[in-house]
Amino acid sequence: MAPRVLVSDSLSPAAVQIFKLRGVEVDFQPALGKDKDKLAEIIGNYDGLAIRSATKVSAKILEKASRLKVIGRAGIGVDNVDIPAATAKGIIVMNTPFGNSITTAEHAVTMMLALARQIPQADASTQAGKWEKNRFMGVEITGKTLGVIGCGNIGSIVADRAQGLKMTVIAYDPFLSPERALDLGVEKVELDDLLSRADFITLHTPLTEKTRNILDAKALGRTKKGVRIVNCARGGLVDEVALRAALDAGHVAGAAFDVFTEEPATKNVLFGHPNVVCTPHLGASTTEAQENVALQVAEQMSDYLLRGAITNAVNFPSITAEEAPRLKPFIALAEKLGSFAGQLTETGITRVHVAYDGEVAEMKIKALTSAALAGLLRPMLGDDVNVVSAPAVAKERGILVEETIRGAEGEFDNLITVTVITERQTRHLAGTVYADGKPRIVDIKGIRMDAEFAPSMIYVTNEDKPGFVGRFASLLGDAGINIATFHLGREERGGAAICLVEVDGDVPAELLAKVQALPQVRQAKPLKF
């Protein structure tokens, strides 16, 4: 029996035709996304669900999806899908992360030009019959410096277009290697340098805890007077209240926003300012982009339903059903080792080396390396990075990825070692899976350790001197933080040491600052797994 796919949002007729030509039965009901009761009533009849943004795939709908195998989102955002609920039911969730990159980049360039020449304001004035020729004095962009925050897929396209407009492009992106920056023809800089030099700033980074309000009041205060700011990436990257104050004070000359902290944005602190240009999240809204993502999702879903091939899945690696049970604990280990390194990495990564020793070397290591890369990149780039997209994201940023397989050496039947080389240092971590199936970290920078990964941990590098443990434990006790497990390791007596502590609950920033201030401490970082 041919697999059946329900299309519940408006999708290109060409995409529907792809399903049919590939031998997939299609039920095209583009208005169904707005009728969640009807969707829940019939979803049990389908193997696949193709959606855009209107359909909300909740846990309640998934409860009724008795035979659903795959959800395909034509576009990048999957926040309208309950991914944990889908994963729990074994439903693959796919997206099309690169289909609208050019369109979004072009919108950012368009917004920059509109801002430079006050096009929307001049249009409104002229159509009102005012002819205020002397009121709208713009600026040229030729010879100006564009600061790109986030130089991944979209940011690199913007950089290319800006160079065609004879702009000087500087970029801040901790995951952009010097080699990739050279290929793009951009100068890689630190954030403070970008803020002080840029005439225009454009943001192209995901919204994560590290990037939220990356342009806050303090950062805006460090910008060049007269700077113009463009945000076509994510609402929340810029502190809108602080930006309004900087606009009112005349420090920021103008802003062009396509995205907002709260959407739909029917009101916003930026609205009404004479030097602000706004659009209603139109970044991906071109005929070409919508056609591209529709065709891609139809191809991907057909490949999965007919051949079992998994492409751009956000919740599952590219492995077969037979391999999954054996690989699962090692995928978890690889991802956690990568996450450990990623949470500690603050400078550009140039190379990642993953070594597999013993039994694990005989497994599908590509899936394991992808898991390690996803863990490594996600702390900086957000949940858009998954085990499928991580290798492409790493390549996009010029990160060299290497793998080594070896026979069992030493005391472990299996061992995964992740080495991360940045512009400033080399860090390596090793872990294993014991007979109980639980991943453990057994080596940090050559120092022996034996610890399970916990939801909340504190990682401290310190000097092996008397008094540290007592002071450290007292600080945690005074803060009301309970210690669950405590692991210590050292290179040699009196030398470099490591402390890895599992705690109950989150680690307050003020506590971390006190730990960092201890005389023996070199570094203190919170970790989440």
Mean of the pLDDT values across residues 505-519? 89
Last residue of a domain, one of 453, 481, 496: 453
Residue 216 is assigned to a structural domain of this protein? yes
Same domain, 311 and 362: no
Q: What is the pLDDT of residue 219?
A: 98
Same domain, 171 and 188: yes
Same domain, 125 and 267: yes
Same domain, 312 and 239: no
Same domain, 137 and 176: yes
**How far is it, in rounded angstroms, from Cα 154 to Cα 172?**
14
For residues 273 and 316, the model is more confident at: 273
Model confidence pLDDT, tens digit, residues 224-243 = 999 999 999 999 999 999 99
Residue 252 is assigned to a structural domain of this protein? yes
Residue 22 is assigned to a structural domain of this protein? yes
Nearest to 504 by CA among 487, 482, 480: 482
* Residue range of the domain that includes 427: 319-453
Same domain, 192 and 120: yes
Same domain, 294 and 305: yes
Same domain, 393 and 498: no
Helix residue ranges, H only, 358-465: 365-381, 390-396
Helix residue ranges, H only, 230-344: 240-248, 287-307, 324-344
Last residue of a domain, one of 401, 424, 453: 453
Residue 116 is assigned to a structural domain of this protein? yes
Model confidence pLDDT, tens digit, residues 124-141 = 999 999 999 989 999 999
Into how many domains does the chain fold? 4
Same domain, 331 and 444: yes
Same domain, 136 and 94: no
Residue 283 is assigned to a structural domain of this protein? no
Residue 49 is assigned to a structural domain of this protein? yes
How many whole angstroms from its chain centre is CA 315? 14
CATH number at residue 392: 3.30.1330.90
The CB density around residue 80, as the number of other CB atoms within 10 Å, is 18
Residue 110 is assigned to a structural domain of this protein? yes
Mean of the pLDDT values across residues 269-292? 93
Residue 170 · residue 148 · CB < 8 Å: yes
Helix residue ranges, H only, 144-231: 153-164, 178-184, 191-197, 217-221
Same domain, 356 and 416: yes
pLDDT higher than threshold 90 for residue 182: yes
Q: What is the DSSP string of 58-80?
A: -HHHHHT-TT--EEEESSS--TT
Q: Which of 193-197, 211-215, 383-387 has the lowest mean pLDDT?
A: 383-387
Last residue of a domain, one of 222, 255, 278: 278
How many whole angstroms from its chain centre is CA 262? 20
pLDDT higher than threshold 80 for residue 321: no
CATH number at residue 46: 3.40.50.720
CATH number at residue 493: 3.30.70.260
Same domain, 129 and 265: yes
Model confidence pLDDT, tens digit, residues 346-379 = 778 999 999 999 999 988 888 899 899 999 998 8
Question: What residues are annotated to the active site?
Answer: 234, 263, 281
Residue 71 is assigned to a structural domain of this protein? yes
pLDDT higher than threshold 70 for residue 318: no
Selection from 36-40, 244-248, 456-460 with the highest mean pLDDT: 244-248
